[in-house]
Amino acid sequence: MPQLPPVLWAERPDVVLVTFQVQDASDVDIKLLEKSIDFKCKSDGKEYATTLELKGELIPEESTQAVKPRQIEMKLKKKDEEGGYWDGLTSKKQSHVKVDWTRWVDEDEANGAGDLGDFGAGGMPGMGGMGGMGGMESLMGGMGGMNLGGGGDPEQIQQMLANMGGEGMGADAGPAEGDDEDDEDMPTLEAKQ
């Protein structure tokens, strides 16, 4: 009896991304219809199979797939791009289907998040970055500045640090006079030969 393959999915306004997590898959057989995916393959002497009844409709002719060493990726073209995001991948809950949070983009943030690298296409596997993560700019963009009490003015920040017992931030900030008195007991370092 075939095993259920682990399935990850994410979506964008125009496509659904599906990943079957089966390493070194052989005899891959995928039947893609408008409302379903029938998937079968073999790996490491085991058979894997599942049928996914989809929540929305696809355009099979405009969809792509790629068998890679660690997984099988599919980029499925949605029939109704204006219909918004689906409420889930399948019409009924399936325990082996989970959200791919590394590729997920929220519906209200989907504009400008179209770069999918080589997902669902042939090419060198594993050469892309962490898909869906974006740069630090996007992560930090909405966080705003830190309130350091001085409003970001260097002189006010230096005054705040001085009030806390610090010497401030400057090139002349070094050990205060008399701080090196306990250094006298330190032995000198000798190079080994």
Report pLDDT digits (tens) over 64-87. Answer: 999 999 999 999 999 987 778 888
CA distance 68 to 23: 8
pLDDT of residue 28: 97
**Residue 141 predicted with pLDDT over 50:** no
pLDDT of residue 117: 58
Residues 6+ apart with CB under 8 A from 168: 158, 159, 161, 162
pLDDT of residue 159: 76
**Residue 135 predicted with pLDDT over 50:** no
* Whole-number average pLDDT of the chain: 78
Angle among Cα 82, 83, 89 to the nearest 5 degrees reads 130
DSSP state of 182: G
Residues 6+ apart with CB under 8 A from 35: 53, 54, 57, 58
| pTM of model > 0.95 | no
Place of tokens 């007991």: 185
Considering only CA atoms, which of 107, 109, 116, 114 is closest in space to residue 74? 116
**Contact predicate 99/10, CB 8 Å:** yes
Indicate the pLDDT class of residue 162, thresholds 50, 70 and 90: confident
